[in-house]
Amino acid sequence: MSLPALFDLRGRTVLVTGAASGLGLAIAETMLEAGARTVLTDADEPALAHEAERLRAGHPLTEALPLDVSRPGAVDAVVDGIVARHGAVDCVFANAGISAGRGFVVEAGQLENIDLEHWSRVLQINLDGVLATVRAAARHMKPRGAGRIVVTSSIAGIRAEPLSGYAYVTSKAAVNNLVRQAAMELAPHNVLVNAIAPGPFATGINGGRLRLPESAERMRTHIPLGRVADTSEIKGLALLLASPASSYMTGAIIPVDGGASAR
């Protein structure tokens, strides 16, 4: 296969959850630029409509559907609808996720102050939402004998992260083993399952905290590359994991973290 063909997604259909902002939006842009029909989904309908309209101007293969991943029936319906309309779904990015607030470096983030309702809500989106998305994708990909599933995890799921809340680090650690387990089950069916584990990216998460100058300052000492990442810096790995170039990769949790997890 030629080098351009290794990264060519023309003729493919891709679904991205949490695609109205941040990493999901950058991933959706990447898929469109590589030629894929791309279905952006998000629970934030106005933001989704706005971004989809902007993208459609340059990429007619842009589609948008409202979707809250904490509603498993709705996830199934969206995936079923894509398969009914386009014949198949080739790649699914289970990307939607929320923050759990500050970690134990502040009093509100310490064990005794964990609000169990908030804990459940974070797990419902970051873990149950990923399970619903992976399961809906696998249901179609397994019998077809082809497919890619890419989960947005975090380096906070690989090791302790004092700056992130308990529910967040727990959800991301759980998601990492969900990815490994699903990769084992689906490998005989040629369905590849991998995770991207980002470090700090300047997105809308946590009220856009990582876009603030004080975060940039903190990361200067916290991250070996000395800065917060731009969302465009997720594009290379997203394209690799969706494309023929990664045909021998499954069950991998891959950091994009400025060197943070190597410490």
Ligand X SMILES: NC(=O)c1ccc[n+]([C@@H]2O[C@H](COP(=O)([O-])OP(=O)(O)OC[C@H]3O[C@@H](n4cnc5c(N)ncnc54)[C@H](O)[C@@H]3O)[C@@H](O)[C@H]2O)c1
Return the active site residues. Answer: 168
Q: Say whether residue 253 binds ligand X (CB under 6 A).
A: no
Helices 166-186 and 116-123 cross at an angle (nearest 10°) of: 30
Alpha-carbon distance 260 to 37, whole Å?
34
Burial class (CB in 10 A: 0-12, 13-18, 19+), 60: exposed
Binding piece for ligand X, criterion CB under 6 A, among 20-28, 52-60, 177-185, 237-245: 20-28
Q: Say whether residue 198 binds ligand X (CB under 6 A).
A: yes
Site for ligand X in 80-99 (CB under 6 A): 95-98
For ligand X (CB under 6 A), the number of binding residues is: 30
Q: Which of 202, 108, 198 is CA-nearest to residue 153?
A: 198
Binding piece for ligand X, criterion CB under 6 A, among 3-11, 40-48, 139-147, 214-222: 40-48
Q: Which residues face 38 on adjacent strands?
A: 14, 62
Question: In whole angstroms, how close is the CB of 186 to ligand X at the nearest point?
Answer: 21
Site for ligand X in 125-184 (CB under 6 A): 125, 129, 152, 154
Q: Which of 232, 182, 213 is CA-nearest to residue 27?
A: 232
Is residue 153 a contact partner of residue 253, using CB atoms and an 8 Å limit?
yes
Q: Say whether residue 204 binds ligand X (CB under 6 A).
A: yes
Q: Which of 23, 29, 58, 22 is CA-nearest to residue 9?
A: 29
Binding piece for ligand X, criterion CB under 6 A, among 76-84, 110-118, 136-144, 204-212: 204-212
Alpha-carbon distance 114 to 86, whole Å?
44
Site for ligand X in 43-62 (CB under 6 A): 43-44, 47
Question: In whole angstroms, how close is the CB of 65 to ligand X at the nearest point?
Answer: 11
Task: Candidates 100, 205, 241, 242: give the one binding ligand X (CB under 6 A).
Answer: 205
Q: Which of 157, 30, 141, 44 is CA-nearest to residue 96?
A: 44
Choose between 158 and 186: whose C-beta lies nearer to ligand X: 158
Question: In whole angstroms, how close is the CB of 237 to ligand X at the nearest point?
Answer: 12
The contact set with ligand X (CB under 6 A) reads 17-18, 20-24, 42-44, 47, 67-70, 95-98, 125, 129, 152, 154, 198, 200-201, 203-205, 210
